[in-house]
Chains A and B, each alone.
Chain A
């Protein structure tokens, strides 16, 4: 077990380094001339040269790469060009806000998705199954900004049930904050529901057809007990792994959702950095998104292995 965790940690560190390299290539190499990209095609060459010098972009790429890596390890992600403060100081509250929104979405979608998947699996091939699978797939693939805008139109503009923005007035209590976060969480729920329901359904179908279920039925145990004790336990295991991998989709959705609901989170910060060509801030936010994803999959992997003894041994890759 200890070896599995160690191996998994080592891989995570390696992936983190590769991620930092990809982000470096995106922010330092792809623009070619960083100063020219920020100031535009009509800026004076002297101004471009000055900016490049200020940013350190006139130095060899290897030196820039070393600065970025060693800084990132120490938690120093450079200074934001648009805010004139260290990038790391902007990230804290943004990550916290995004976590709140993500938490609301998860609390809504996990039970819904699992229930939907269980219902679809139990009534395979029937109407419930078709509604959950086809409806779930459709909800999952519609971009968040489309569903978000339709929701704003219906529930905020026409019915006036919920606020248009996600940002609760400063100093408001938990209940008010929650009320502001419900509408923006729903598009994220849509995107995740289909996946979670689908995996749960697949797990259900497999468990229902397994030999141990047949044995339990033949022993004369009531259907309710068979499902609760034998089917559900085995069916829900893969769901845990999937919920964790879906954080990636969740984070991607935050960019547009926080933007259209005007919510000061990691996604909004990413989009602002993109609009202002604030490369240090942009590479910081992308890096944090990657770290959050790697952490959640790491925790899920280890948790999954604790629950499933088959993974603990005999896993080669």
Chain B
């Protein structure tokens, strides 16, 4: 490489980096002006604070059993009432944020990393491997994620760790398909051909050249899948296959208390239900705003 080429290559690289940074700043400005994003981010932040510092907000121990005061109505001593064992519903709702906010992002991260690797490899090499994997993805998508997760968790046995892995694996094919589509468009571009002509090794082309250019769709996919992960996890927990007691998970709490609805005891069920609904709605509002900003 001559000195002139070296300088121009360096300039190109710097311009690319600056362009990327400018685009990032622009996206961030648009996001900050979106009311749905702001409202969503504030409420997500509230639940993250509950998950991290729940102990400081809780008025009672979320595990303290007080059978004499079971099913107490919401009052000044128990803001949201007590459940079937006399435990404080308010403290349990606050404490319940932790499990779901640890498990769902972890599972989504596993699915995103595995899906990205599979999507890069299949999209880059194409051919027989690609054909076979895409058919497997189709087969996976024929069964809803909740049911696929249910089958796997029944087979392995439910625990907080298996549910992370199972949701991650169930989401992998979906993410792989998105990444593959993005890689298919990138691999035809000149910079990839240039890298190939320089005789770069395939892993280098995939992970150093292509990957930085498909981060936007991967980020969008991550936020969208995070919403689905919370949905799937809450449902599996309600069915007894997700987060395991004694953690005061919202789905588990609803399962334990909804039979008392017909007896007029609505507070141990309604408040965790509102918590799930609020979290899942705002996560999706945020991911929707992010998607729109990246796809405009």
Residue numbers of A with Cβ under 8 A of B are: 11, 14-16, 18-19, 21-23, 26-27, 30-31, 37, 134, 137-138, 140-147, 149-150, 152-153, 157, 164, 248-249, 251-252, 255-256, 259-260, 270-271, 274-275, 277, 279, 282-283, 286, 289-290, 293-294
Contacts and interface: CB of A to CB of B under 8 A. Distances in A.
A157 B142 contact: no
B135 A14 contact: yes
Contact of A134 (B36, B227, B277, B283): B36
B208 interface: no
Contact of A15 (B139, B227, B240): B139
A9 to B, nearest CB: 14
Interface of B: 36, 135-136, 138-148, 150-152, 154-157, 227, 231, 234-235, 238-241, 251, 254, 258, 261-262, 264, 266, 269-270, 273, 276-277, 280-281, 283-285, 288
B277 to A, nearest CB: 5
| Consensus secondary structure, chain B interface | helix
B129 to A, nearest CB: 15
Given A15-B142, A256-B238, 13 more contacts: A18-B135, A27-B151, A30-B152, A138-B285, A140-B284, A142-B280, A144-B235, A251-B144, A252-B145, A256-B146, A274-B151, A274-B154, A293-B143
Contacts of B280: 141-143
Nearest to B241: A274
Identify which of B251, B273, B276 gathers the most chain A CB atoms within 10 Å of its CB: B273
Contacts, number: 142
B109 to A, nearest CB: 20
Nearest to B228: A141
30 contacts: A11-B135, A15-B135, A15-B138, A23-B151, A27-B155, A30-B152, A30-B156, A37-B157, A137-B284, A137-B288, A141-B281, A141-B283, A143-B238, A145-B251, A149-B269, A150-B270, A157-B266, A248-B144, A251-B147, A252-B145, A252-B146, A255-B239, A271-B150, A274-B154, A275-B240, A277-B154, A282-B151, A286-B143, A286-B151, A290-B142
Contacts of A14: 135
B151 A143 contact: no
Name the prevailing secondary structure of the A interface residues.
helix
Contacts of B138: 11, 15, 18
A189 B196 CA distance: 51
Contacts of A249: 144
A283 B269 CA distance: 32
Contacts of A274: 150-151, 154, 239, 241
A252 B144 contact: yes
Contact of B151 (A11, A26, A137, A142): A26
Contacts of B154: 274, 277, 279, 282
B239 A256 contact: yes
